[in-house]
Amino acid sequence: MIVKLDKCIGCRSCEIACAREHSPSKSGERITADTRKALSRISIRTGLTNPTDAPEMRPRKGKSKTAITTGKAYPIRCRHCDDPKCVEACMSGALIKNEEGAVIHDPDKCVGCWMCIMACPYGAIKRDLENKIIVKCDLCLHRDTPACVEACKTGAIVCIVGEKSERQNESIAEGSG
């Protein structure tokens, strides 16, 4: 998965599409009712301005830390790493890297130990506390195009499955900052 940071406007359409795609009903109308089970595999975060660089944004006494939240929106998502630390950490065999280069999770083998969450350097894995397993991006292999890619109207998310995707991702992220 490649993200063109300069194109992300933080609209969260990708989050909603992912949650809907992985919900039991796959229905936009019932997304609220499904919320506990409809966990998005992608998260939009907003950068924190360094308070030392922006004195006016420093938290003041009695103000919430969220007062300093500002900056560029960016998606947190699985990069389907060439050398996936999550797979290495998973002792139950619930995570594998398949022949197409996708890192896939088998919920039936997952014991909810959270080792993969600790091992992932990108914070790309979420807890499904209701079922005591993890959830992660499955590249929507059941679809022609991942739901997040289809939902992103600015073209900020591009799907490339293959061994070079992580490297390309890093170079694009660095270039668009």
Give residues 138-157 in contact with ligand SF4 (rule: CB under 6 A).
none
Q: Are 73 and 48 in contact (CB under 8 A)?
A: no
Matching residue, tokens 């991006």? 137
Give the nearest distance from C-beta 135 to ligand SF4 in angstroms. 10
Instruction: Kindly tell me the burial class for residue 71, based on how many C-beta atoms sit within 10 Å of its own C-beta (0-12, 13-18, 19 or more).
Output: middle
> Could you tell me the CA-to-CA distances from 42 to 17, 90, 117 in Å, in that order?
10, 21, 14
Is residue 92 within the footprint of ligand SF4 (CB under 6 A)? yes
> Residues 2, 134, 140, 157: which binds ligand SF4 (CB under 6 A)?
134
Is residue 113 within the footprint of ligand SF4 (CB under 6 A)? yes
CB closer to ligand SF4, 25 vs 122: 122
Give the nearest distance from C-beta 141 to ligand SF4 in angstroms. 14
**Centroid of chain to Cα 164:** 19
Is residue 41 within the footprint of ligand SF4 (CB under 6 A)? no
